[in-house]
Amino acid sequence: MKVTIIGAGNMGGAIARGLAKGTIVGAADITVSDPSEKMLQQLQKEFPEMVVTTDNRTAVGDADFVIVAVKPWLMKPVLAELPLQSQQVLVSVAAGVSFEQLVEYTAAPEMTMFRLVPNTAMSQLESMTLIASRQATPEHERLMVEIFNEMGLAMLVPESQIAATTALTSCGIAYVLKYIQAAMQAGVEMGLYPKDAQRMVAQSVKGAAALILNNDNTHPSLEIDKVTTPGGITIKGINELEHAGFTSAIIRAMKASR
C-alpha cells in the first residue's frame, strides 16, 4: 500500500513519522510533498527510504491513499491541482472542511474520502484520532482505524459529530495542558522546582488516563471516590475546584470550541 502525504508541517510530518514507525506501511511506500526542502530533508534524514518531493502532482501519481495535511484555507487550491483518480482514497486533515466541500474541490463525487481529526500527541504516537468516512467500504474503515491505532487510539465517528469530538480531543488536549501548567504553578508556589513539578503532574495525568482507558468498568467519579476519604485533604481540594466553577469552565470551554 502506497501513501502520499501532502504537507510536511507539524501534523503532516507527525503522520509521516507515525506511519514509518508502524507495521502497516513501510517507509519506502510513503511519499511526502511540501514546498519546504528543509522539512523534507529532516524527514529523509530520519527515514532514508521515505520519498520526498516538492511536486504535489508527481507525489500523488501511484498512491493508494492521499493524505492532505494543509491549512483549511489551502485545501481548495491544493486539491484543485492534484490529478486524483477515482480509485484513490482521499484523507483530509483540514479542520472544518466538510465532505461536501471536498467533493466540490475535487469534482470527484464517486471518490472514497475520510476526514481525520488527530491531535498534537500524534508526534508521540499517543494521539486521539477521530475518523469520519464517505463512500468507504468496511475494509477501508477497518484499515484506517488500524493505521491510526498505531499512533495512539482511533475511533470512527459520523461527520455530524466531528465538531463536538474535535472540541474534546484536538482542542481538548490544550485544556489538559492548561491544567498541567496550573498545577505546576501551584507546585512552584509550594516550594517545588518547575521541572520536578512538571514531571509529577504529567505522570499523574498519564496515570489518571490509564485508569480510565485500561478499565471498561470504571468512571471518573468512581476513581475520584477512591481517593476522597471522609474529612480528607482530597475532598477539600475537589470542593474548592467546584466552588471556583471548575466543571462549568471545562464544559463552557468545550462548547466554545465547537
Where is the domain boundary, 131, 157, 183?
157
Separation in Å, CA 211 to CA 81, 111, 147, 224: 47, 40, 25, 11
Cell output for 67: 493524505
Where is the domain boundary, 101, 131, 157?
157
Shared domain check, 152 and 65: yes
Please tell me the predicted confidence (pLDDT) of residue 158.
97
Question: Taking Cα atoms as reference points, which of 21, 23, 29 lies closest to residue 67?
Answer: 29
Terminal CA-to-CA distance of the chain, rounded, Å?
35
Task: Judge whether 162 lies within some domain.
Answer: no
The rounded Cα 85 to chain-centroid distance in angstroms is 27
- Rounded CA gap, 235 and 106, in Å? 55
Whether residue 52 contacts residue 40, with contact meaning beta carbons closer than 8 Å, is answered with yes
Task: Judge whether 166 lies within some domain.
Answer: no
Question: Taking Cα atoms as reference points, which of 107, 129, 112 lies closest to residue 63?
Answer: 112
- Rounded CA gap, 178 and 184, in Å? 10
Shared domain check, 142 and 47: yes
Shared domain check, 131 and 18: yes
Question: Taking Cα atoms as reference points, which of 184, 145, 181, 152 lies closest to residue 169?
Answer: 152
Q: Is 202 exposed, middle or buried (0-12, 13-18, 19+ CB in 10 A)?
A: middle
State how many domains the chain has.
2
Shared domain check, 52 and 93: yes
Q: Give average pLDDT by consecutive 10-residue segment, the chain, 258 residues.
A: 95 94 94 95 95 96 96 96 94 96 95 96 93 97 96 97 95 97 98 98 98 96 96 97 97 95
Where is the domain boundary, 157, 186, 202?
157
- Rounded CA gap, 108 and 60, in Å? 15
Question: Taking Cα atoms as reference points, which of 204, 201, 209 lies closest to residue 181?
Answer: 201
Please tell me the predicted confidence (pLDDT) of residue 258.
87
Shared domain check, 134 and 25: yes
H-type helices in the chain, by residue range?
A: 10-21, 37-46, 56-59, 75-81, 99-106, 138-149, 162-168, 172-189, 194-213, 220-227, 233-243, 246-256
SS3 label, residue 44: helix
Name 30's bridge partners. 3
CATH, residue 222: 1.10.3730.10
- Rounded CA gap, 236 and 218, in Å? 23
Backbone angles phi, psi at 134, to 5 degrees: -135, 125
Instruction: Supply the range of the domain harboring residue 221.
Output: 172-256
Question: Taking Cα atoms as reference points, which of 15, 4, 136 lies closest to residue 62?
Answer: 4
Shared domain check, 136 and 185: no
Please tell me the predicted confidence (pLDDT) of residue 63.
96
